Structure 1
Amino acid sequence: MRTTFDQEDILYSILATSAVKAAVSGGLYKQIRPDDSKLEDVVINSLPIDQGSVQRSTANVNVYVPDIQIKINGKNQYQPNTTRLKALTALVVPALQERYSSEKWNFWISNQTTFREPEINQHYLNLRIEFKFHNS
């Protein structure tokens, strides 16, 4: 049987050997991001995994990017750094395109969105990765 740790390890090994790791100013992490990070970080985490001969699960790949400060109507405000978010998305998505492994698993990107983290003045790209493990 496979675990959520297995899918995090798979995604980590792919991203660690891709252009993504060198492109971010911070690091690549499993499950949790360092406290108070102000850098660009990639965090991989998992939702629960089914049990059985075919296991399905969802993993998240979150790419954090600090907001930029701009003046709007004479007031400094934080806005998403869409230029940087787009550049990192252009690296992450190809690295995580649909894959099939001889180790009896496959995954694909099911959706992508961006979330705001107003408490830390950052936004993050969220990629939902659907996994299927074949244990027969």
Structure 2
Amino acid sequence: MTSNQIVSFVARYYKENGGLLANVYKHSRPTVDAGSEYVVVNSLDIPNKLLQELIVNVNLHVNDINSTVPNTARLEELESNAYNVLDKVHSGEIDLYIQTSKTFRENSLNEHYVNIRLLVKILKNS
């Protein structure tokens, strides 16, 4: 599997298995309004190489309550949900393991996001 295929798998898996956010984007945030809450799934680009392991970022974005105050309750709810959906997934082709999570401020957008770093192990390469 390539990095693009893995990012697509993680995005689809999050959406189809109980992820709370409906707006899921691959690789980057859209340039148009993405809404007040959305997910961006990306990885370091390793195009067209068959991989055995890859780090994938799942970024859960939430608008701030005001220009300086994060919506910590919602960020914590989304982080907990993502842990339940994405940690220790065994699909037959791919295993997912959460390595870390950390909250960051996105100054230019008046939002914060939780970055969940996944270790993806590829079991079957096609």
Report the TM-score when normalising by structure 2.
0.85
* Aligned mate of 1:31, from 27, 30, 44: 27
Taking only the aligned residue pairs, the percentage that are identical comes to 33
| Counterpart mapping for 1:16-55 below 5 A | 16-20=15-19, 23-24=20-21, 27-35=23-31, 36-49=33-46, 55=52
Determine the C-alpha separation between the residues in 2 that align with 1:33 and 1:99: 25
- Partners of 1:66 and 1:81 within 8 A in 2: yes
Cα drift, residue 102 of structure 1: 2.1
- Partners of 2:105 and 2:112 within 8 A in 1: yes
Q: Which runs of 5+ in 1 are unaligned?
A: 70-76
Residues 102-130 of structure 1 show CA distances to partners (whole Å, capped at 9, x for unaligned) of 22x31200000011011111000000011
Letter in 1 for 2:81: L
Cα drift, residue 97 of structure 1: 1.2
Aligned position for 2:54:
57
Query: Highest CA radius of gyration, 1 or 2?
Result: 1
* Aligned mate of 1:92, from 61, 65, 82: 82
Moved over 3 A (4+): 48-52
How many pairs does the alignment contain? 123
Determine the C-alpha separation between the residues in 2 that align with 1:133 and 1:122: 33
Alpha carbon RMSD of aligned pairs, Å? 2.1
Letter in 2 for 1:122: E
**Higher normalized strand content (fraction of residues):** 1
Report the TM-score when normalising by structure 1.
0.79
